Structure 1
Amino acid sequence: MRPGKSSSNGAKLLVQSLQAQGVRYIFGVPGGAVLSVIEALAEQGPEFVVCRDETGAAFMAQAWGRITGQPGVVLTTSGPGLINAVCGVSTATEDRDPLVIITGQIPRAMRFKQSHMNLDSVQLFAPITKWSVEIEAADTIPEIVVNAFRIAAAPRAGAVHLSLPTDVAKAAAVLGQARLPVVLLGMRAGEESASAAVRALLQRCPLPVVMTFEAAGALSRDQLDRFVGRVGYVRNQPGDRVLQQADAVLAVGYDTVEYDPTEWASPERGHLIHLDALPALVDRSYRPTVELIGDIAANLVALADRLTSAPLVAMEAIAAARDELREEQQRGAGLDGAPIHPLRFMHELRAALSDEVTVSCDVGAHEIWMARYFFCYEPRHLLFSMGHQTMGVALPWAIAAALARPGRKAVSVSGDGSFMMTCMELETA
């Protein structure tokens, strides 16, 4: 938005449009180009969370979007203010989290002059957002806000339809004929409706399950006997070995940004079923035999209706990989001495926290230990940045989690380097 004669009315209309979208918090740093918006927020809400830096503000909005499913909102001034938010905005895009950023702008008359804080923000954000647009007139604000929220929350390809029933039947046949079918859960399997459908499918057909870091929490405690580990960085975990042995993989909500398919997928190895809201990004390794595109939960329900019990080989693979994973995890309870072994830390942290606590994890060596051995049983309650691998996200994410889930605890886990990058946000908390 640009300040000017109608900026006050435009600001009020913007705030009303945000209220209509159910926005509860806006994260940002005050600045001259957005003072009229901040004044309107002070009069009628939503609550403006004043942060110490725009990067942290964007991280908080990102986490709000991931946890609630509703786009988090960032408000920045022009020039350096919006530049500071670039890393957080790019992280949200690459991590596939819904976010709307609103930035201030200098008056149009100053656009082609050498003026302070003169920056083409539309072009700056275009490569790192799904849609970058300038509000040209106040009366267009409501429709632009509605479209912004819809585009932010929608999958990359926009609106899509359910697959034909014949596709579901073919997928069921592939799984039914496989010697060792395996389920790979990706980031969109961690959404509440999708995770509920995943749990129902596994209740009916207890297949081996591996998951990416971003899918943490998709399984409940009572389904741990199906879980053989998370996969991500390197191919040396029980889950990786099960994937290598599989002759059919059901990839649910998987995004190639989470785990390079060249590390685990191959057309020669067996069949691949891609079940997601988005068509597969096909490459030489990731070539689905069947695609079920549309509502993830609905397709899982339709698929579950056609599945029966898992084959014996699959049950044996579950037992071997599960036992290996549990033995290593439980070893942490017996590790004493100093410095504290990471496995011991995982053991103590899990024992100290209830399942309702949101845990945000920064990027670093500790992240690998958390991903492998810290189990989570609620969707979107263990947060990683696998798409952009941005250091410094954990503390801002935890702050946003505390707002998104009032009355529930949030824990931030960081290494010394990543903590120092956004430790100033402790003052925001």
Structure 2
Amino acid sequence: MAELLARCLENEGVAYLFGLPGEEIIPLVDALDRTSIRFILTRSEQAAAFMADMYGRVTGKAGVCLATLGPGAINLLLGVADAHTDSAPLVAISAQVGLSRIYKETHQVVDLVSLFRPVTKWCDTLLTPAAAPEMIRHAFHVAQTERPGAVYLALPQDVALMAVPPGLRPLRAQPVPPGAPSPDQINRAAAVLNAAKAPIILAGHGAARHRAQAALVRFAEKLQIPVAATFHGKGVFPDDHPHALGTMGFMMHDYVNFGFDQADVIIAVGYELQEFAPARINPQGDKQIIHLHSFPAVVDANYNVTVDVTGDISAALTALAAKVSPKRGLVATEQKIRCLLREELERGRTDASYPLKPQRLVADIRAALGQDDFALVDSGAVKMWMARLYPTYRPNTCLVSNGLSTMGFAVPGALGVKLAHPGRKVAAVTGDGGFLMNSQEIETALREKIPFVVLVWVDGSYGLIKWKMEMQLHRFSHVEFGNPDFVRYAESFGAKGFFIRAADELLPALKQALAADTVSVIACPVDYSENARLTAKLGELTQPAELRCGSNGAKG
């Protein structure tokens, strides 16, 4: 039966499978050698799941990860949950004990289906070879259909060895295109928007997944409406566009929030509630909301949708634009917001202090990478700075874990992204805490000849928790740690290592590393005293009139 299962995976267009072999999964691993699928042997099952997670994020096709039973399957769980909460299509397969003993207490038995059920769209056990074509087809269909997410399938050891009934073969894949939006809902949305005085657009993950950039730009330009993006929506509306407001989702009331404070109508394009709580954009629950997505809105007290336009996002934007006249209600505020963000990044670009300011790191990363290249940004203080300030011009090119905010995904995830897009540069941008959670996958990348760059922001602490402790308690504890010699650590794997000792060394090191056909690790000390300065500055701003674009970038 393992041979049939391997053919079913190949039939689904699986090009890579990430995982670790184990005794109970040997037949399937062996069968994969007789397909076109490339098996990527990883150093941990968690990393395998993160690779599949990020592969799915940037391709729209389900990434696939594989593990043995018991501890192997359990190690997949975090990456599976991350994919599910971030709407990334993923198929996880693991071995399970045989049917002859699954019903009783026995060696390595765990109810894996119950374990995976809360973090998947669908999960089950393959009980007979005859079910393999249907269950594999169903798994990929569910994982890739909106809203995409993770699925899990358990393969009992004895089922993998069973004979296959004659004539059994994989089922043909049938993609499901998004439906057309309802004309009635378009008309209702147009009526709300035509009556609006100060509308604003929020572009979310769904807009990025559906590649709605061109339609969104046309919509914003025709109607003259400013656009903010969620962390997952970064790049679906280019940050160099005159209507771009930057990114919504920072932990405090940021510049972009003032646009939402003044808006009377929010056009939520592909926004999903797990990206951030809607109270951040509609704290009083008094704004009218037009929801445009391929699936209906989820109910929330602060996301009480006025009109729900369900269907193809680009088609909905085009149809709505044809029925609405231009709006210019937020001109002054949007200009101030863009100016403040531009000033903050520009100050960082020219700051020569050492350790480097976060703004300088962001500016140099942007200068080193092309507009189509990828930055995978790990969770922590590094994510806050990159998500706020990193200018992004293409969807899904600044990748964060947001639904679950998982640490340790960026390094293994970079392998999945590079395999999906081998012609584009890939950088994993991570704190020193997150880096050491999955840095063993440097060996995987070197062995599999998958070049990418790791930029480690070094501060010797769990920086975001330290930042929040200082905000809440005015002190911190239990967040600081020691680090290895990062250069020697990288070189011990056979990778290149760099340590930055002056601000003007970072950009040349990034360019050199990105040009190299290998794995490079760049360690750069960061000055996180800027965290407190930023929160103090934002805390001073309470009214839109207080936004000042000038030498101080704040009041006065």
Alignment TM-score > 0.5, same fold: yes
Is the Cα–Cα contact under 8 Å of residues 142 and 148 in structure 2 kept in the other structure? Answer: no
Question: How far, CA to CA, are the matches of 1:380 and 1:206 in structure 2?
Answer: 25
Q: Deviations over 1:20-70 (max 9, x none)?
A: 111100010111111111111112231110000010000010001110001
- Write the distance in 2 (CA, Å) between the matches of 1:376 and 1:288: 29
Structure 1 segment 344-359 matched on structure 2, within 5 A: 344-359=360-375
Kept in 2: contact 1:28–1:48 (CA 8 A)? yes
Structure 1 counterpart of 2:226, from 196, 200, 208: 208
Give, in whole Å, the separation in 2 of the partners of 1:127 and 1:271: 33
Distance 2:213 2:63 in 1: 22
Partner of 1:323: 339
TM-score where L is the length of structure 2: 0.73
Does the CA contact (< 8 Å) of 2:84 and 2:148 recur in 1?
no
In 1, the alpha carbon distance for the partners of 2:182 and 2:292 equals 13
Counterpart of 1:7?
none
Matching of residue 304 in structure 1 with residue 321 in structure 2 = yes
Q: Is the 8 A contact 1:208 1:317 kept in 2?
A: no
Runs of 5+ unmatched residues, structure 2: 150-175, 446-556
CA distance, structure 1, for counterparts of residue 131 and residue 238 of structure 2: 45
Structure-2 residue corresponding to 1:231: 248
CA contact (8 A) 2:232 2:275 kept: yes
**Structure 2 partner of 1:23:** 14
Equivalent-residue separation in structure 2 for 1:219 and 1:228 (angstroms)? 10
- Residue 382 of structure 1 aligns with an amino acid whose one-letter code is C
1:148 aligns with 2:165: no
The Cα of 1:195 is off from its aligned counterpart by 2.4
Contact 1:26 1:74 in 2 (8 A): yes
Mapped contact 1:392–1:419 kept (Cα < 8 A): yes
Deviation at 1:108, TM superposition (A): 0.6
Tell which deviates more after alignment, 199-208 or 337-346: 199-208
1:181 and 1:209 map into 2 onto residues whose CA distance is 10
Q: Which residue of 2 aligns with 1:184?
A: 202
Question: Kindly tell me: are residues 275 and 22 of structure 1, through their superposed partners in 2, closer, same or farther at Cα, counting changes over 3 Å?
Answer: same
Instruction: Trace 1:233-312 onto structure 2 (pairs within 5 A).
Output: 233-266=250-283, 269-311=286-328
Q: For residue 170 of structure 1, what is the aligned residue in structure 2?
A: 188
* Counterpart selection for 2:40 from 37, 49, 59: 49
Q: Which amino acid aligns with 1:350?
A: R
1:319: Cα distance to partner? 1.3
Per-residue deviation, 1:197 = 2.0
% same residue = 37
Q: Is the 8 A contact 2:285 2:302 kept in 1?
A: no
Deviation string, structure 1 residues 243-283 (Cα, Å, up to 9, x no partner): 11110000011111111111221565321111112222212
Moved more, 273-282 or 356-365: 273-282
Inter-partner Cα distance in structure 1 for 2:32 and 2:221: 47
Given the alignment, which residue of 330, 348, 354 partners 1:314?
A: 330
CA-to-partner distance for each residue in 1:174-210, whole Å, 9 max, x for gaps? Answer: 2222111100011111125322321222232231111
After TM superposition, give the deviation of residue 362 of structure 1 in Å.
0.2
Secondary structure at the aligned position of 1:100 is classed as strand
Q: Is 1:403 aligned with 2:394?
A: no
Moved over 3 A (4+): 156-163, 266-269
Aligned partners of 1:183, 1:404: CA distance in 2, in Å?
A: 31
TM-score, structure 1 as length reference: 0.94
**Quick one: distance in 2 between partners of 1:46 and 1:363?**
31
Two-structure CA RMSD over aligned residues (Å): 1.7
- 82, 87, 103: which one aligns with 2:78: 87
Number of paired residues?
418
User: How far apart in 2 are the matches of 1:407 and 1:48?
Assistant: 20
Q: 1:21 to 1:114 in 2, by over 3 A?
A: same
